[in-house]
Amino acid sequence: MQKSITEIENEIVEDFNLFDEREDKIDYLIDLGKKLPHINSKYMLDDFLVKGCQSKVWLHAYEKDGKIFFEADSDSVITKGIIALLIKVLSGQSPTDIINNNLEFINRIELQSFLTSKRSNGLNSMIVKMKAYASAFA
């Protein structure tokens, strides 16, 4: 049974609460990025680039049994960690749940506080792109 977005967000918050120091949270984010499976090279084309990111981020989505699944890669380990978090929360969810979710975990783990303004813009661009994919499949 697929966990709800809220359940997954709560798990992420618990994971990040294990770390007191900003640097430890960044290290954890980098580790998440390193564990993200590589995207198929056929999706590492300009058509799949997320516009507005400082780093290159390729994002692909597909629908299966009414759920949306995401695959992504980046040329930056921190950015790869950010997209890994978003994939963990949104992949396998319904288009409606993806579109209507506010991704509260971002504020709860204070993700923006340890990102540069350019990376924060990239985070927002990734979210917009993922919701656009969900809208296309809805």
Say how many C-beta atoms besides its own lie within 10 A of residue 10's C-beta. Answer: 15
For 71, residues 6+ apart whose C-beta sits below 8 A from its C-beta are 37, 39, 40, 43, 59, 60, 61, 87
| Residue-level pLDDT at 95 | 97
Q: In terms of pTM, does the model score above 0.85?
A: yes
Segments forming the whole domain that contains residue 87: 5-137
Cβ distance 70 to 60 under 8 Å?
yes
Distance between CA atoms of 62 and 42, rounded to whole angstroms? 14
H/E element holding 77?
A: helix 77-90
Active site residues: 53
CATH number at residue 53: 3.90.1010.10
pLDDT tens figures, 90-109: 999 999 999 999 999 999 99
pLDDT interval class at 132 (50, 70, 90): very high
Q: What torsion do the CA atoms of 57, 4, 137, 132 make, to the nearest 10 degrees?
A: -40
The tally of domains found in the chain comes to 1
